[in-house]
Structure 1
Amino acid sequence: MFNSSDRSLLLVDGYNVIGAWPSLKKISDRHGLEPARDKLIETLIGYTHHQGYQTQIVFDSYFQDTPGSQERYTNHLSVYFTAHAQTADTYIEKTCADFWYNRAPAIGRIIVATSDNAQKMTVMGYGAQWISAQRLEIEVDLTGRRLRKSQSSSQSPKGRFLFHSLDAQVQQKLEKMRHGI
């Protein structure tokens, strides 16, 4: 949907996405939020790398009496847990405001993934692009399919065997050895 750029920041409202993606909602309902968070992170690692985005998945820690914390999973993806009395919405809005007022010059553009309509209007007012949680799910799925298709088409059935990666002369010698010639 969006053209990738080395300077693009994708901000994901983590719990909003978990609630909007049926597969993650199911995990959350059955096993709790932690496995759903882990699955979201795992899913977005490949997508983020392929798109070339810097990605922050933001989770509320509003009722936890802890400072905000960030954990880097890859060069492209990190997870941020908000500080006490801060929501993911306010963290995302502040990041967008910093971008708008040019206090984040290293960022070329921001894309915010959330299905919260009020958040959508606020971040777009700060010049960020918006993608719904449902559209992000579609984009992630399409990217995964494209990657699998390109990998499978580049690996023909015969390409699975070491023999086929050898040059023709070596293949002939091995064939002769196999047939006892």
Structure 2
Amino acid sequence: MRRRDDVLLVDGYNMIGAWPMLSKLSDIDLEDARDRLLEMLADYQGFTGMKVIVVFDAHQVPGVGKTFKQHRITVVFTKEKETADACIERLASELRLRSRNIHVATSDMAEQAVTFGQGALRKSARELLIEIQQNRKAIERKVEQSSGVRNELDGNLSMDVRMKLEKWRRGQM
């Protein structure tokens, strides 16, 4: 059972490399691929209620790393000499609580084994993409169903009340 305080840790570049549309986009513009991934994961977070943390590997880039919010999800660029795998393992360990499930999305088998050993639930890149696509379809169905139904207050008011509101709207009261 999924709880609202569950956390999904995502290996960002692993998803970009594994998801065909993001892989193609990254060949043209890696930043656009990252942004598209973050948009998709923000929708996922909004639909599921899970907190999403995306980790991007910056271990070959000098610096202290950085963490920020984008689309209400937490984005982490690892610090110098820290891999995304090491960061995800550290976060999984830090975030583990009795009442919270930690899900780790990566197709890196070694990473899956390590985080699974720490009590995290594993999710492959393919599984996460399928879940995101299913969520998108569920949202679209819900929007289609609700778009045909109008919830007008006017139809539920007596003629007397409607006349008073119309006078008020026109500034005649």
TM range, smaller chain:
0.7 to 0.9
**Alpha-carbon contact 1:57-1:78 (below 8 Å) kept:** yes
Partner of 1:177: none
TM-score, length of structure 1 as denominator length? 0.81
Aligned counterpart in structure 2 of residue 41 of structure 1, from 23, 38, 42? 38
Measured at CA, do residues 45 and 107 of structure 1 come closer, stay the same or move farther in structure 2, by a change above 3 Å?
farther
Alignment of 1:1-181 (within 5 A): 3-30=1-28, 32-75=29-72, 77-99=73-95, 104-105=96-97, 108-156=100-148, 159=150, 166-167=154-155
Measured at CA, do residues 107 and 67 of structure 1 come closer, stay the same or move farther in structure 2, by a change above 3 Å?
farther
**Identity of counterpart residues, as a percentage?**
34
Which 4+ runs in 1 deviate beyond 3 A? 104-107
**Alpha-carbon contact 1:73-1:79 (below 8 Å) kept:** yes
Deviations 1:80-112 (A, max 9, x none): 00000001000011122334xxxx548711000
TM-score, length of structure 2 as denominator length? 0.84
Distance in 2, matches of 1:7 and 1:49, equals: 13
- Structure 1 residue 144 displacement after superposition: 0.7
Distance in 2, matches of 1:69 and 1:98, equals: 17
Unaligned 5+ runs, structure 1: 174-181
The count of corresponding residues between Structure 1 and Structure 2 is 160
Unaligned 5+ runs, structure 2: 164-173
* SS of 1:167 mapped into structure 2: helix
Distance in 1, matches of 2:7 and 2:75, equals: 13
Distance in 2, matches of 1:23 and 1:106, equals: 37
RMSD: 2.1
**Alpha-carbon contact 1:7-1:106 (below 8 Å) kept:** no
**Alpha-carbon contact 1:11-1:111 (below 8 Å) kept:** yes
**Alpha-carbon contact 2:38-2:71 (below 8 Å) kept:** no
